[in-house]
Amino acid sequence: MKKTKVLITGAGGFIGHHLVKFLQNKGYWVRGVDIKKPEYEKTTAEDFKLLDLRTREKALKAVTGVDEVYNLAANMGGIGFIETHKAEIVHDNILINMHMLEASRLARVKKFLFTSSACIYPGYKQKSADVAPLKEEDAYPADAEDGYGWEKLYTERACRHYMEDYGLRTYSVRFHNIYGPLGTYDGGREKSPAAICRKISLAKTVDEIEVWGDGLQTRSYCYIDDCIEGLYRLMQSGFHEPLNLGTDRLVTINELVDIVAGIAGKKINKRYDLAKPQGVRGRNSDNTLLRQVLKWEPQVSLEAGLKRTYEWIKEQLTKQG
């Protein structure tokens, strides 16, 4: 039987690289596209092209001959990066997303998935650490995270327009803090779980690490395997509105540090740097719609996911010497 051909943009990145392997295991033929190769292990994609998707010509080349597109490519990083590179982020990502949508339409792609973010939710709904979980409809009236969040929200709308006006079957998923092995853990683009695992791995048996903010800000975290499973399930569904994908277990950054310290078997004290960016005060995912649409919800506990992540980061740091 002829294999369905999929394109994964951002296949050199964290989620894209995991997705390549997952879809191949499901029997798909996979083309990966990125401006860089995966950093920590070789790609297994049948075809891997180095292309800068900020141009129309490269986007057209990327979609040639594929049936489905998972558009993950983005210039992004943790809070330290997105708060200090707004112009670069909106410039690059709007170009990537518009060219990829238009190229997919012209190539008569059957399905197009866009990876949005919990950063699209309004600031006024995230002012306290014990926030109510965010439902999809809470996105409006809009007051997204300035820069990255607005770009994601705008592209969600562009997906809807391409579906309504041209019949391109689009899907938009709002990720809530995805973490796991093979994710960036240093260099300035890393997110909180990876940064905390790195700091604790480098710490002595009894030590102190720096925490951004007062540690009482809250988030929910989703392990990479659950993220990939959720993405796949969404692409098999007939649901075309934006959908949350995350867990609904709210933890403080302090709790995150304590869990990782427990995994490492170290006694870690916290030194708070209130000058560092913290993002919103609290953010959680309401998974009512996710359960209904996907007939499933994330399965991996924070403790189990962090253990795998910590072990992987420790191994990388040991290799670096």
Q: Which residues are identified as catalytic?
A: 148
Using CB under 6 A, pick the residue from 6, 7, 20, 35 that binds ligand NAD: 35
Query: What are the backbone angles phi and psi of residue 258, rounded to the nearest 5°?
Result: -65, -40
Per CB under 6 A, does 53 bind ligand NAD?
A: yes
Q: What is the C-alpha separation between 293 and 203, in angstroms, rounded?
A: 43
Per CB under 6 A, does 221 bind ligand NAD?
A: no
How many Å is the maximal CA-CA distance in the chain? Answer: 60
Q: Which is nearer to ligand NAD, 38 or 213 (CB)?
A: 38
Q: Which is nearer to ligand NAD, 34 or 156 (CB)?
A: 34
Planar angle of CA 150, 115, 81, nearest 5 degrees: 55
Q: Which is nearer to ligand NAD, 177 or 201 (CB)?
A: 177
Per CB under 6 A, does 120 bind ligand NAD?
A: no
Residue 238 neighbours by CB under 8 Å, 6+ apart? none
Q: Which of these ranges, 31-39, 154-162, 271-279, 307-315, lies near ligand NAD under the rule CB under 6 A? A: 31-39
The sign one gets for the Cα dihedral 310, 315, 317, 321 is positive
Task: Give min distance, CB of 98 to ligand NAD, in A.
Answer: 12
Torsional class of 10: left (φ above 0), alpha (ψ -120 to 50), beta (otherwise) = left
Q: Which residues are bridge partners to 5 per DSSP? A: 29
Q: Which is nearer to ligand NAD, 75 or 268 (CB)?
A: 75
Residue 157 CB coordination number (10 Å)? 12
- Span 73-102, contacts to ligand NAD by CB under 6 A: 73-76, 92, 96
Task: Give min distance, CB of 6 to ligand NAD, in A.
Answer: 15
First to last CA, the chain: 48
Per CB under 6 A, does 117 bind ligand NAD?
A: yes
Per CB under 6 A, does 10 bind ligand NAD?
A: yes
The residues of the shown chain that bind ligand NAD, judged by CB under 6 A, are: 9-10, 12-16, 34-36, 52-54, 72-76, 92, 96, 115, 117, 175, 177-178, 191
